Structure 1
């Protein structure tokens, strides 16, 4: 009976944690929709780089403050840290309607970005209520709060349009107030109904806690999380302007598509926790990184049209051009067929399409020599980057990252059982830095190349680095533990 009551209390705390984290995550990714709307409607004339900064600034705060917030959670317990965080972060959201410049908007975004530290609080606060065999599932369920990004991308565009019906210039100001009220209400509920609980060894000093961060394992986990969480946060915001610019979708439809990326990625995290409990986090991470490499390689191919030189037509004899048309050149009495330019191919093809034709470059009564070029060849290759295929690939990589997020945090209670808050905070910090730097990197890549899919090239390269790093580390660990076996394998393969 005691175990049943304890588990029921743990589930109740898990529900509160997940609810609070969901609301925090929705607020954390607010700028993705709000800034896009403000620029699209001409309310603020921010350039691409400024937009990238505004998308990244809240993520920066949530990243750099995760470590100290994680330490505070280990030290004082999650109830008071979480409720204080919720209540304080509502203030800059209430003030955001007063922002009338890039600088003020950036400052207030930096302040309400503190909600991003809720993950460091919730990880330590959730895991302390569950035994080891339950932690993967519990942390996976808590991590479903990432779906808060889907709430923003799904509801915020419609709310912005609704608020702007009567006042197109100032209607947007109601949205941050709604978000601020949500934080305020959840903060009060958390303060009233949550139960405080601290780590048993919370009497350790802060310098003692920080010594754990010397472990290379912490930084490797952080690199994985930079990819699966940081890129997830970045694309939760970046996909909306991506769809609007590349596929000419509306704000609402672009928001729907961004939701189709962020919602499954958030919800699947619980399943990722189950898989990590059942098969082991290491095996799950292998599959996550491999799928990230494959899918990002497909997604980086841009919507494009390439024109290049194709097979031309050369004179088979010396003579005089006696007749010229778009489909034929006659030299004396011999005809040379010319391929006419075909009609443009309609958009919507899944695979690249090719068309070739020739362009006549000689005139009637002109004397030509044998092997002289009569018509230059042109080949056109068109790739439409079909929107629906692109959307499916985006959803799949989001699902993969969602599973990976749970797998990364499954490692932490196993390797660092008494430093979950500080290690989880550090790993979360690195992941949050990914959410901050990636939109800025994406914006500079877009400005430099002019290609929206250039962001996926960065994802591909980082996925490859993480996969190689993991494989080398695991191989070295196995060789250290079983040197005789590895030598025997090497001899057999010679």
Structure 2
């Protein structure tokens, strides 16, 4: 029963963590009425929680494997009590920076659940499970919508204090209902890092999550203040619109995970980055609130699905190093939310326009689309190489003139010849001499006519031993019908006395 509680409990934990993470950006329009914040430093105030919330994801993902999710969530919520209380009494810009930095712990807990929860489910459900857990992003929507509503009644300082009660409740829930018997992984952190940092897929997934989750976080912290200052909306209206953006992205995250369980994940990512590219172009040329809303909603759809797809891919490729891989990828996603608001603010202060920033985002998304397509075809080639090297049948590939270009390990095992010994040679080097010239003439005549020959043939191993093999030779042709290579596959069928 305790194991069944982990998905809803850890998802609720993420909701609370994200509620705290965006506390300052949710209440910024109210805080600015009491604390003087220069316009050029607004982005810094909203972005600082993202920094620690990103960097801490690596150690939290690692320690979730060492100590289990129960302990890590409990300690995280206790530690969050201090910056939340500090912010409730803030009176200067510096107070907000100091308190906001340590709010990052709330965002860092993301890597705890994506490391812990896959242990409870089979691989074919990891996409859906991590997608459901990722719906904890809804915490940002709850804070963005509810915090301004409460603040209009009791003030922003008292609103912040309500979060102290919430943190204490969830610290207790994890202490009582967290899984004490969770499977622990004791691999040292340096050994885990060595196991993943040379794998190029880790850095591709990090880049992709940098953009998909980064765009989600960036818009979450950027929209409330932007809608108030640029479109002159009411603070509560801006909060509700931002909450709508968050809700769409959050509910589509498990949809992305579920789709990745059913279909090729890299195909889905192609659609995601095509959508982000188009949406960013709309935002770059959107003078009206209607077009801006359409572009933002397309960002929400693409980012939500993309976030779900990526965390299907991470545990699939990094099962034994899930903690550190999840930490690195999710850290990059968090940092992806830190830089865009700063970049947009800098560009706006220099040019008076946000369009250049959005156009730059569209180009980054387009470059990611190209990378996903490249990764898909590299994956296909890698799969072909794995099949070529692991099959039990001997395989040799020649060019159109019959010169050997490649052989697989089974060829060496069956014939005794290494790859270095046969590359550049003709297959007749291991002919047994048992067959007549007419035999070979008939064989090649059939290959020329049908593109395929199959039959039994005697050949000779490197040690001089003759053996009978079942051989198939296929002609590979290009688009114009010309033969480019021949592929021979064979197995030893020598009768055993």
TM-score (norm 1): 0.76
SS in 2 for 1:403: helix
CA distance in 2, matches of 1:109, 1:131: 38
Question: 1:48: which partner in 2?
Answer: 39
Structure 2 unpaired stretches of 5+:
386-396, 398-473, 485-497
Query: Structure 1 residue 302: deviation in Å?
Result: 4.1
Deviation track 1:422-457 (CA, whole Å, cap 9, x = no partner) reads 100000110111112222112112212211344422
CA distance in 2, matches of 1:492, 1:155: 67
**Do structure 1's residue 143 and structure 2's residue 134 form an aligned pair?**
yes
Higher relative contact order (CA 8 A, sep 6+): 1
CA distance in 1, matches of 2:293, 2:376: 34
Query: Structure 1 residue 489: deviation in Å?
Result: 6.3
CA distance in 2, matches of 1:44, 1:492: 76
In structure 2, do the counterparts of structure 1 residues 392 and 489 end up closer, same or farther at CA, with 3 Å as the change threshold? farther
Question: 1:34: which partner in 2?
Answer: 27
In structure 2, do the counterparts of structure 1 residues 478 and 17 end up closer, same or farther at CA, with 3 Å as the change threshold? same
SS in 2 for 1:397: helix
Question: 1:281: which partner in 2?
Answer: 265
Question: 1:400: which partner in 2?
Answer: 302
2:14 to 18, 21, 27: 21
CA distance in 2, matches of 1:282, 1:99: 46
Quick check: 1:199–1:418 contact (8 Å CA) kept in 2?
no
CA distance in 1, matches of 2:66, 2:83: 27
Quick check: 1:74–1:422 contact (8 Å CA) kept in 2?
no
Quick check: 2:2–2:177 contact (8 Å CA) kept in 1?
no
Question: 2:76: which partner in 1?
Answer: 85
Question: 2:489: which partner in 1?
Answer: none
Deviation track 1:352-377 (CA, whole Å, cap 9, x = no partner) reads xxxxxxxxxxxxxxxxxxxxxxxxxx
Question: 1:238: which partner in 2?
Answer: 222
Aligned pairs, number: 394
Question: 2:119: which partner in 1?
Answer: 128
Query: Structure 1 residue 396: deviation in Å?
Result: 2.2
Quick check: 2:283–2:291 contact (8 Å CA) kept in 1?
no
SS in 2 for 1:20: helix
Question: 1:371: which partner in 2?
Answer: none
CA RMSD of aligned residues (A): 2.2
Deviation track 1:315-339 (CA, whole Å, cap 9, x = no partner) reads xxxxxxxxxxxxxxxxxxxxxxxxx
SS in 2 for 1:268: helix
CA distance in 2, matches of 1:151, 1:438: 22
Question: 2:233: which partner in 1?
Answer: 249
Quick check: 2:273–2:368 contact (8 Å CA) kept in 1?
yes
SS in 1 for 2:379: helix
Structure 1 unpaired stretches of 5+:
1-7, 164-170, 304-384
Question: 1:460: which partner in 2?
Answer: 362
In structure 2, do the counterparts of structure 1 residues 474 and 105 end up closer, same or farther at CA, with 3 Å as the change threshold? same
Question: 1:191: which partner in 2?
Answer: 175
In structure 2, do the counterparts of structure 1 residues 255 and 490 end up closer, same or farther at CA, with 3 Å as the change threshold? farther
Question: 1:339: which partner in 2?
Answer: none
